[in-house]
Amino acid sequence: MFNNYMWQTYLNAGGSEIVKMFEENLTENLSKDYISTINKLRSVYCPMKSILDGTTLQLEDLVNDLQNSYLLEEQEYSIASALQTLYDGMSNNDILSPQDVFSQFSGFIEYYTTFLAIELPELFFPYYFQFNFNVLEKIAQEFDITLPPLPVKKDYIGRFSYYGLLCDSFFNFRNQHNLSPYELCAFLYDFAPKYIGGIDSYIIKDLPEPKSAFFIGGSKDDVFLKDNADTISCWQCNPDTRAGDMIVMYLRTPISAVDSVWRSVSIGFNDPFFYYYRCTYIANPVKIKQISQKQLQKDEIFKNIPIVRKNMQGINGVELKPSEYNHLMDLAKADVMRLEFDISSDNENLTNEKDVENNLIKPLLSKLGYTENEYVQQLYIEIGNHNHALIPDFVLKPVVTEGHHSAFAHIEAKYNIPNSKAMLEVKKQARSYAVQLKAKYSVIASKDKIWISKASDDFTEDIFIATWAELNNPDTFSTLLKLIGQQVR
């Protein structure tokens, strides 16, 4: 929530000078000092020097072009009409495809948006969140700013136009809080990033154990590819990536081989202005013995994997099963973490339902990424006129408001389910909890097995069944993780 007292405190403590810097440069003369200040501000929330260097080059080009009177025609513009004028000019009378136009726009977004902010400051703001849409999302969440829904990856016209929708959202925010265009810039690039914690708001230093592994692809000359263990790089990956996941780098022609293993240090996210759309931040590279594409094509396990059969085309973000990843690391004799999940399966000493809850379910929830604050045990749900209640054993990610309860999933614990008749009774009970909670998944857990059903078929069929011992198989656990694991987004 925007707090006017904190904002005024920021302005009085030096923020007014940042506002003045934006106003002087975006109305009078774009200077080299502006470029260096933008990079200094951006370094608070962007860890990559190569990204900052790209911003410098774009703004230097804009300074030169503005000296040559690169201006819009004098007429009344709206956000839509100004963007359409820009699009028409970039497409060269439709000679270039929407994909080509968007590629140029996304590659030079700091240039184009700063130009628009200079020409039409009441409508546009300069966009300095390239490769960091996750930061803008955190700012919007923190200050109750509604961002428009993201267009899909292949909607290139929609992604081009999305900048205009953002400008409209921030125009409303600015008017709501009586901010000038230049105060908005100071808010977006100085006040808000520091308020949410800058780089530390999404780069995880103390990494959790990996839950998954993903392929990414690059070339040895990629500007974002560094061997320095301290380097953090943004890379096209899978939006389901969790912090700590293993990232397997495949270098393309002329190497055509798996070359290194990295760790994801952020969660994956979609960025509408990143051409490849899906990305994460990676670090901690470990060089391994190269495993060539030809070796993968001959290997008994990898030769049947779709991405290998497609000659590694479209590799960025392709998930590896834990068993596949572990096998690959064994082939490379790599000294890196394997994907292993040690799940308690000792049920011989369990004597009652409470033992099942404490010795099986709670440790499993921890392995699935839940903290104790993210589930509730024995949630009391009052039904009707205070004369009836439901009390599910575990409720995952509950949302409780006055008179309303909802959750992502629930778990019903039983010591033993001896036969099919008993199972029908347990399922009936579990379904009533799930329906009341509007849960996506219903889980039943006994000392022997766990069963999962889902809302889409009214919790009729089991979509997952496993013994506790079977959960020690990394592929089986990975399937469970995808169903009811804690997604940190």
Asked if 191 and 198 count as a contact pair (C-beta separation under 8 A), the reply is no
Q: Is 2.60.40 the CATH classification of the domain at 353-484?
A: no
Amino acid at 163: Y
**Domain 213-331 carries which CATH code?**
3.10.590.10
Burial grade of 257 (CB within 10 A; 0-12, 13-18, 19 or more): buried
Q: For Cα atoms 355, 357, 358, give the angle at the middle one, nearest 5 degrees.
A: 65
Structure tokens at 34: 């502006």
Cα 208 to the chain's mean position, in Å?
16
Q: What is the pLDDT along the chain (489 residues), one digit of tens a residue?
A: 888 899 999 999 999 999 999 999 998 789 999 999 999 999 999 999 999 999 999 999 999 888 776 666 667 889 999 999 999 989 987 789 999 999 999 999 999 999 999 999 999 999 999 999 999 999 999 999 999 999 999 999 999 999 999 999 999 999 999 999 999 999 999 999 999 999 999 999 999 889 999 999 988 777 677 777 778 999 999 988 999 999 999 998 888 999 999 999 999 999 999 999 999 999 999 999 999 999 999 999 999 999 999 999 999 999 999 999 999 999 999 999 999 888 877 777 888 998 999 999 999 999 998 999 899 888 776 655 555 567 888 999 988 776 678 889 999 999 999 999 999 999 999 998 899 889 999 999 999 999 999 999 999 999 999 999 999 999 999 999 999 998 743
DSSP 309-344: HTTTTT-TTPEEPHHHHHHHHHHTT--S--------
Residue range(s) of every CATH 3.10.590.10 domain in the chain: 213-331
Q: Is 306 left (phi over 0), alpha (psi -120 to 50) or beta?
A: alpha
Pair type for strands 462-467 and 449-454: antiparallel
Q: For Cα atoms 102, 180, 58, give the angle at the middle one, nearest 5 degrees.
A: 35
Give the span between the Cα atoms of 273 and 99, in whole angstroms: 12
Residue in 21, 420, 7 with CA at minimum distance from that of residue 174: 7
Give the span between the Cα atoms of 473 and 224, in whole angstroms: 35
Burial 347-377 (b: 16+ CB within 10 A, else e): beebeebeebbebbbbebbebbbbeeeebbb
Asked if 90 and 96 count as a contact pair (C-beta separation under 8 A), the reply is yes
Burial 35-54 (b: 16+ CB within 10 A, else e): bebbbebbbbbbbbeebbeb
Instruction: Write phi, then psi, for 290 (nearest 5 degrees).
Output: -65, 135
**Cis-peptide into 254, omega within 30 deg:** yes
Amino acid at 15: G
Residue range(s) of every CATH 3.90.1570 domain in the chain: 353-484
> What are the start-end ranges of the H helices in 332-419?
353-356, 362-367
Quickly count: other Cβ atoms within 10 Å of residue 69's Cβ. Answer: 6
Q: Whole-model pTM?
A: 0.85
Asked if 117 and 22 count as a contact pair (C-beta separation under 8 A), the reply is no
Pair type for strands 213-218 and 246-251: parallel
Give the span between the Cα atoms of 25 and 186, in whole angstroms: 13
* Kind and range of the H or E run holding 264: strand 257-264
Asked if 465 and 433 count as a contact pair (C-beta separation under 8 A), the reply is no
3-state secondary structure of 386: coil
